[in-house]
Amino acid sequence: MSEIITYTACPFCKSDNIIKVLTAKDNTVSQKDFDIWHCNNCSGRFTQHIPGQEDIGAYYKSNDYISHSDVKKGFINRLYHIVRNYTLQSKKKLLNQVNNNSKGALLDIGAGTGAFANTMKLDGWQVTALEPDDVARENALKNYGLQLQTPDTLYNLPENSFNVITMWHVLEHVHDLHGYIDTFHRILESNGTLIIAVPNYTSYDAEKYGQYWAAYDVPRHLYHFSPDCMQRLMQSHGFTVTNYIPMWFDSFYVSMLSEQYKNGKSNMVGAVSTALASNRKAWVDAKKCSSVIYVIKKAQSPKPKA
């Protein structure tokens, strides 16, 4: 029997002060509607009535799911690949900065088809990469000769073994949210850095598109983060967010998809206008960007669980 997860308390902070705020449609695979709930205590949001870990794989089975298939069909997907070549270099620069311009041991979780892991390997890093999807792992082996491991490997990695851990638009997909973060604390070295990029539902484009905002991506996105929620979550596990970095291109990509979902057709002018407006707000405050990169440092031992 298929497992459906229904939350009676917030999955971030365990508060029962939660309310339904909107219903969004899975426009990628199932065309089903899913409710999104909001926590009034920590400001986190989450998708309600989600498939369990063993069942959610069916919702990734689409040729349009670009992080697994590397599909280049269609304007939006071609644009994604053009931008990715630039962002890979930006990510490499960031990792070298947070690691004091020295090469180290990197764990990349949710490696997709291996483009980022390969970039860092070629830069001299010792790279371990995890990816749950069989097709993505096959593409990583075919395209880059990378042997990606399955996510269950995470729990068996040795203590203090990585300088940097990265999750590029991955944490929102992880069922074992608290277990993952506790493990990060254990396997990062004492001065290690955790880098997490996730969509930001408090951005202007999220506010404008509402239920049609493509970055809700239900039910694959189990959680929907605000900067305040992320800070609270990390503090509860012995981490501190030290920097917020905007992902400027995400607002364009998300707005283009959102226009399609809302209107049933593309609207390049409307998408670009929304993306520019969103980025103008983020220029003043990075916490307002459509997606945010959180640079996170170990602060203390994880707090005991209640």
pLDDT tens-digit readout, 113-160: 999 999 999 999 999 999 999 989 999 999 999 999 999 999 999 999
Identify whether 223 is part of a domain.
Answer: yes
Assign 3-class secondary structure to 191-246. Answer: EEEEEEEEEECCCHHHHHHHHHCHHHCCCCCCEEECHHHHHHHHHCCCEEEEEEEE
CATH number for the domain harbouring residue 170: 3.40.50.150
Identify whether 303 is part of a domain.
Answer: no
Identify whether 241 is part of a domain.
Answer: yes
pLDDT over 80 at 56, yes or no:
yes
Contacting residues for 182 by C-beta, under 8 A, at least 6 apart: 237, 302
Identify whether 140 is part of a domain.
Answer: yes
Identify whether 40 is part of a domain.
Answer: no
Q: How many domains does the chain have?
A: 1
What is the reported pTM? Answer: 0.93
Identify whether 213 is part of a domain.
Answer: yes
Identify whether 11 is part of a domain.
Answer: no
* Mean pLDDT (whole number) for 66-90: 66
Identify whether 12 is part of a domain.
Answer: no
- The whole-number pLDDT of residue 228 equals 98
- The whole-number pLDDT of residue 65 equals 57
Mean pLDDT of the chain: 93
Domain extent, residue 162, equals: 59-298
